[in-house]
Chain A
């Protein structure tokens, strides 16, 4: 059942992105930035966690979950460490995504011969 909801919710978030491309004529960078901020705001109101519980990877794989994780990390450490937690905790949850994207992309650039 979780697979069905992952498919439907994940697909729906991508359709929102496609509509921003086609109807609002936004560039990919504008679209992605807007979706990340939307995910951050959704988490600020506590709306994103229920969505992840409901749709699993359908909510955690789209880029909106990046905004969600940034806010989540910041707020979790705010609670534990006080003010400074906002800046120290921000990237604590998204570290896996950013680090692996940097390292794998760098390794790919070392290995792959560019075409054309």
Chain B
């Protein structure tokens, strides 16, 4: 809606404000990002999540006599279960506000993005809401990961490297 500013007598039409204008106007009021503080928080929270993951993996190895490779899948599944539970209680998102990338980069953040999208769109129904929106953020990760893996696989096949893993 158009807003008149009486002071200068200039009509500033807020509805025709371009995003560029808005950025110029708001820039002096946007606080600088505390990069160092954010990085310290991301480091400690991300490191802690990985230590928890390591603990779960070692537990699987000790209790079920798995190798570290066999234990990787159940470890990821347990981490995802924990993340989904914490997301359901709204705890994960509170942690994420503090930790930034520290909670987003681990696999728990991947599960959090899927679970919170599912919960957020629950009201739109199970098919269109939950089913259709679950991969809103996680989808890009899967798409780019799959395309990268396909390209690399084809390059390996052409070079006749076979695999070698």
Chain A residues within 8 Å of B, Cβ to Cβ: 2-3, 6-23, 28-29, 31-33, 35-37, 39-41, 43-44, 46, 49, 55-58, 60-67, 70-76, 78-80, 83, 85-87, 90-91, 93, 95-98, 100-102, 104-106, 108-112, 114-115
Contacts of A6 in B (CB 8 A): 47, 50-51, 53-54
Partner of B53, one of A20, A33, A60, A73: A60
CB-based contact A57/B156 at 8 Å: no
Partner of B148, one of A41, A105, A108: A41
Given contacts A32-B141, A57-B53, A58-B54, contact A108 B43 (CB under 8 A): no
Shortest Cβ gap from A61 to chain B (Å): 4
A61 and B108 CA atoms in complex are apart in Å by 8
Contacts of B53 in A (CB 8 A): 6, 10, 57, 60-61
Contacts of A64 in B (CB 8 A): 105
CB-based contact B42/A11 at 8 Å: yes
Partner of B118, one of A35, A87, A105: A105
Say yes or no: is B14 at the interface (Cβ < 8 Å to chain A): no
Say yes or no: is B1 at the interface (Cβ < 8 Å to chain A): no
Q: Which residue of B lies closest to A25 (CB)?
A: B33
Given contacts A37-B148, A79-B163, contact A112 B153 (CB under 8 A): no
A73 and B47 CA atoms in complex are apart in Å by 26
Given contacts A61-B50, A78-B162, contact A109 B118 (CB under 8 A): yes
CB-based contact B48/A7 at 8 Å: yes
A36 and B47 CA atoms in complex are apart in Å by 18
Given contacts A3-B54, A36-B144, A76-B165, contact A96 B76 (CB under 8 A): yes
CB-based contact A96/B84 at 8 Å: no
A42 and B45 CA atoms in complex are apart in Å by 24
CB-based contact A62/B142 at 8 Å: no
A66 and B111 CA atoms in complex are apart in Å by 12
CB-based contact A78/B153 at 8 Å: yes
Given contacts A22-B33, A109-B130, contact A31 B101 (CB under 8 A): yes
Contacts of B54 in A (CB 8 A): 2-3, 6, 56-58
Shortest Cβ gap from A89 to chain B (Å): 8
Given contacts A56-B68, A108-B84, contact A63 B122 (CB under 8 A): no
